[in-house]
Amino acid sequence: MQDGEYSKTAMGTAFMRAYHAAHVHPPIFTDVFARRLLTEEEYQAGEERHLKAFHLFYPDLAAVCPDRAAALAGWMQNAGAPAIVLARARYAEDLLEQAVGEGVKQYVILGAGMDSFAWRRPDLMARLQVFEIDHPATLAHKLGRLRAAGLETPPNLHFLPVDFGRENLAGALRRVAYDPQALTFFSWLGVTYYLPREAIFTTWRAIAGMAPTGSGVVFDYLETGAFIPGKVAPRVAILLEIVSRVGEPMITGFDPAHLAADLARQGLRLQENLSPAAIQARFFQGRDDGYHACEQTDFAWAVVA
């Protein structure tokens, strides 16, 4: 992220969730609040950006689209990011729901961006203390958007500004009503990509050190092959180029074959790794609208050992 600037990719993922909720049936994930966190100008600008990208990266497909709506739908179905953003949110909240049934009392959303969980899921909110953690600039921006949308902060929702590159998560959580004895579920969606490896390890270690055994963390990551010219999948290359252009380059990936060992060294046990094929089978099977799991992007669920 650029110094002092809120995350543009967080606004981008909010646009994807807003678009999806309004236009795609059956949805992969439904977020009817995302649209309220974007201004009209931002939503329109988001449409323009995506249309431009479709014409730039998929000129042949764009050329045969009869209109703007078809082109936008074409981009959403063919680009990698929407498939990642929607399916990872669904994966995390499916696991969270299961975890709440098994006694989880706290939900920590790391790098929350414009996530609207606190308003979208009153059923789970009623049973949880929720901590939204994000980069100070993104969090400040979100608080402004919540005010503008008239969304009040529930008493069991706690905001915490943290720069993962500069501050340790454990130290930060000591500043709020986080209970280190309570079973906790962490989600870390769309963030590992942007951080140096050591900052990711530090955060994993912090989770392992401050949550009781059985607590879990869900995150998504790029496979290391995505960073090797000649091995990178075409639409992952497009994704890498787009995020670089907005000043939030993706810099870190993991080898799925070594992820369990990487996590174990930080005190976490890999419970499940969903490869792109497994993500396809779980969240996209049977769709006839072109949405499909993105290559070289995995979802992982690890628990405190």
Ligand X SMILES: C[S@@+](CC[C@H](N)C(=O)[O-])C[C@H]1O[C@@H](n2cnc3c(N)ncnc32)[C@H](O)[C@@H]1O
Q: For binding to ligand X (CB under 6 A), which residues are involved?
A: 1, 7, 9-10, 13, 85, 111-113, 115, 134-135, 138, 162-165, 189-191, 194-195
Give me the least distance between CB of 214 and ligand X, in Å please: 23
Which lies closer to ligand X via its Cβ, residue 103 or residue 165?
Answer: 165
Q: How far is the CB of 303 from ligand X (least distance, A)?
A: 20
Extract long-range pairs of 175-181: CB within 8 Å, 24+ residues apart.
176/131, 177/129, 178/106, 178/108, 178/129, 178/131, 178/210, 179/105, 179/106, 179/129, 180/210, 180/211, 180/212, 181/212
How near is the Cβ of 66 to ligand X at its closest, in Å?
31
Minimum distance of ligand X from residue 163's CB (angstroms): 4
- CB-based contact 185:106 (threshold 8 Å): yes
Nearer to ligand X, 132 or 295 (CB): 132
Cβ nearer to ligand X, comparing 65 with 93: 93
> In the chain, helix, strand, coil percent, each to 5?
50, 15, 35
Identify which of residues 65 and 239 has a Cβ nearer to ligand X in the complex.
Answer: 239
Least Å from the CB of residue 13 to ligand X:
3
For residue 155, give the 3-state DSSP assignment. coil
Nearest to 24 by CA among 66, 85, 65, 110: 85
Q: In terms of CB distance, is 82 or 256 closer to ligand X?
A: 82
> Residue with CB nearest ligand X?
113
